[in-house]
């Protein structure tokens, strides 16, 4: 199986719907340690992306680039900027492509992981969205053609459960590191909504 530009645009539409639905939950979760604007920021990204892909750009890199620019216009949580970085990375990585094969996703996620780490300064294990991306990547990679998505979802759930008891090691939540134990990282939960919406 592979993803073409029409499927990508449809998936982004479902993604945008889900970000808006999940916004209150993500705001509340973020408000426990941060400033509580994660859901609002992602909603803004979703609304901007909806506008940017209607009508959709002609090819896959064009779609990703439009999404990246759309996310740079959302202020608030750092995750908005990180999304822009992720889409920019996907733009570069898919240059010249008309479709993305299923087997290419782990490589694309590795590129996104590295770009986010370089831009945001987080490392694996810091209890951030990076750990969610890595879990999904490993889940996709370790499975044959069948059941990739369910393996990715299971891997992400395992990572969320594993990190719950750990401390946040970066960002505003780091300041309240002790209090972050027992709380899910809002970025990881946002990643759960993203994965569920597109798959």
Partner 1 sequence: MKKLLNEPNAYVDEMLEGLCAAHPQYFRRIGEAGRVVARTDGPVSGKVGIVSGGGSGHLPLFTGYVGRGLIDSCAIGNVFAGPSVDDCIEAMRAADGGAGILRLYGNYGGDRMNFDMAGEMLDMEGIETATVLGADDVASADAAERHKRRGVAGLIYLYKIAGARADQPGATLREVAAAAEKAGRGCATTGVALGPCIVPEAGKPTFTLAENEIEMGMGIHGEPGVWRGPLKPADALAGEMLEMVGADLGLGRGERVSVLVNSLGATPHEELYILYRHVARELAAKGVTVVRPLIGRYVTSMEMAGASLTVLRLDSELEALLDAPADCPFWSVP
Q: Which residues bind partner 1 (CB under 8 A)?
A: 31, 35-37, 69, 71-78, 80-82, 84-85, 119-121, 170-171, 175-176
Considering the complex, state which of residue 82 and residue 160 has its C-beta at the smaller distance from partner 1: 82
From CA 79, how far away is CA 129, in angstroms rounded?
A: 9
Considering the complex, state which of residue 5 and residue 93 has its C-beta at the smaller distance from partner 1: 93
Considering the complex, state which of residue 11 and residue 170 has its C-beta at the smaller distance from partner 1: 170
Give least dist CB 40 to partner 1, A.
Answer: 8
Give least dist CB 68 to partner 1, A.
Answer: 10
Give the three-state DSSP class for 32.
Answer: coil
Give least dist CB 121 to partner 1, A.
Answer: 7
Give least dist CB 147 to partner 1, A.
Answer: 36
**Cβ-count burial of 164 within 10 angstroms (0-12 exposed, 13-18 middle, 19+ buried)?**
middle
Distance of CA 189 to the CA centre of its chain: 10
Q: b or e along 121-139 (b: 16 or more beta carbons within 10 Å of the residue's beta carbon)?
A: ebeeebbbbbbbbbbbbbb
Considering the complex, state which of residue 71 and residue 151 has its C-beta at the smaller distance from partner 1: 71
């Amino acid at each position: 199986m592979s993803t073409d530009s029409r499927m990508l645009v449809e998936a982004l539409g479902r993604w945008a719907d889900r970000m808006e639905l999940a916004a209150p939950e993500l705001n509340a979760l973020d408000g426990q340690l941060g400033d509580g604007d994660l859901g609002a920021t992602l909603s803004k990204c979703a609304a901007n992306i909806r506008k940017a892909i209607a009508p959709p750009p002609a090819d896959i890199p064009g779609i990703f680039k439009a999404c990246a620019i759309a996310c740079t216009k959302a202020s608030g949580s750092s995750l908005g900027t990180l999304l822009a970085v992720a889409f920019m990375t996907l733009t570069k990585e898919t240059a010249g492509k008309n479709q993305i094969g299923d087997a290419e996703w782990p490589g694309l996620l590795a590129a996104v992981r590295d770009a986010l780490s370089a831009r945001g300064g987080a490392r694996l294990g810091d209890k951030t969205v990076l750990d969610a991306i890595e879990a999904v990547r490993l889940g996709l990679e370790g499975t044959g053609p069948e059941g990739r998505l369910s393996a990715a979802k299971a891997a992400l759930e395992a990572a969320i459960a594993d990190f719950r008891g750990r401390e946040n090691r970066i960002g505003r939540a780091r300041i309240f590191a002790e209090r972050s134990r027992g709380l899910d990282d809002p970025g990881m939960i946002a990643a759960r909504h993203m994965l569920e919406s597109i798959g």
